[in-house]
Structure 1
Amino acid sequence: MRISARADYAVRAALELAVRQEDGDPVKAETIAVAQAIPHKFLEGILGDLRRAGVVDSRRGGGGGYRLARAASAITVADVIRAVDGPIVSVRGERPTGLSYQGTAEPLLPLWIALRANVRRILEGVTLADLAADALPQPVRDLAAEPESWENP
């Protein structure tokens, strides 16, 4: 699995909104771009995708900007990634459930389904509130603590 720059930037932008949202004022795209070192024009497109997906709201004008559309505890990392990149795990651009294999390749389908299930379990189990509080769920912390997790074979 590959996390695109677009998905990485989207999660960082949403996290920035989660952290800054406590004062209730919308946050300008430029503020997010500077805080997270994201190219401003690229960020505008990402924020548009997040708005269309219902992850963020926007307000125009001098006091305008962006804010999360729901509580940070109700938005998962998976929600953010899907908003900008589509399905979490795809094979050749298709969801694994839409694939079929024959012959010796038949065992691939359950492998891709299992991969998708594990990735979804992690990304759907972590909310923006978890990240904002630096409080990843224990199973995620346990996986990240395994030395093999940090090695590139």
Structure 2
Amino acid sequence: MELSCKTEYALLALLELASHYQPGEPLQIRQIADKQLIPDRYLEQLLATLRRGGLIKSLRGAKGGYLLAREPWKIHLFEVVKCLEGAERQASSADPIAKTVETAVVMEVWKEVDASVDEVLQRYTLQDLCDRRDARRQLDIMYYI
């Protein structure tokens, strides 16, 4: 199983928004794109999808930008993946007509894999990603001292 580029970029953008959740100031596309090395136009499309999915909200005006719609500890990674790849992911894991016993057996196992992936994604939140990032940064700092 691979993480799509779309989902990876969206998670990076959400992680950046989660990092600035407490100050409550919206981040502009340019800020997120520069910090996370995401192409501006692509990020704009991803943020629109995340906004429609209810994960972020946008504020207009000179001091406008994007904010998380909820606290980072209330946004599960499963929601993000479902928002971005829901229809595509379901279509790819749809049960084709089993032509052979072998195909049926493989599809049964693949459904089990999908269920396991969903279970893991439901366990982790954006806050968990922030905590892991902060712990790694701390280890990097300690390493260089």
The TM-score bracket by the shorter chain reads 0.7 to 0.9
Task: State the match for 1:46 in structure 2.
Answer: 46
Q: Name the structure 2 match of 1:123.
A: 121
Relative contact order, higher structure (CA 8 A, sep 6+): 2
What letter matches 1:34 in structure 2? D
Q: Which residues of structure 2 form unaligned runs of 5+?
A: 134-145
CA contact (8 A) 1:55 1:75 kept: yes
Q: Over residues 92-147 of structure 1, what are the superposed CA-to-partner deviations in whole Å (9 max), with x where a residue is unaligned?
A: x3443x54424322112211210101111111111001111228xxxxxxxxxxxx
Residues 9-88 of structure 1 mapped to structure 2, 5 A cutoff: 9-87=9-87
Once the two structures are TM-superposed, the CA of residue 71 in structure 1 deviates from its matched residue by: 1.1
CA deviations over 1:7-34 (Å, ceiling 9, x no partner): 1000000011001111011111111000
Distance 2:17 2:131 in 1: 13
Q: Amino acid of the residue matched to residue 111 of structure 1?
A: V
RMSD: 1.8
Classify the secondary structure of the residue corresponding to 2:123.
Answer: coil
Partner in structure 2 of residue 103 of structure 1: 100
| Partner secondary structure for residue 120 of structure 1 | helix
**Structure 1 unaligned blocks of 5 or more:** 136-153
CA distance in structure 2 between the partners assigned to 1:62 and 1:54 by the alignment = 23
Percent identity for Structure 1 against Structure 2? 33
Q: TM-score, normalised by structure 1?
A: 0.79
Deviations 1:59-110 (A, max 9, x none): 11111100111111111112112222225844xx3443x5442432211221
1:66 is paired with a residue whose SS is strand
SS at match of 2:58: strand
Give the equivalent residue in structure 1 for 2:140.
Answer: none
Alpha-carbon distance in 2 for matches of 1:101, 1:18:
44
Quick check: 1:89–1:116 contact (8 Å CA) kept in 2? no
C-alpha contact (below 8 Å) 2:76/2:123 kept by paired residues? yes
CA contact (8 A) 2:93 2:111 kept: no
Q: Larger % of helix: which?
A: 2
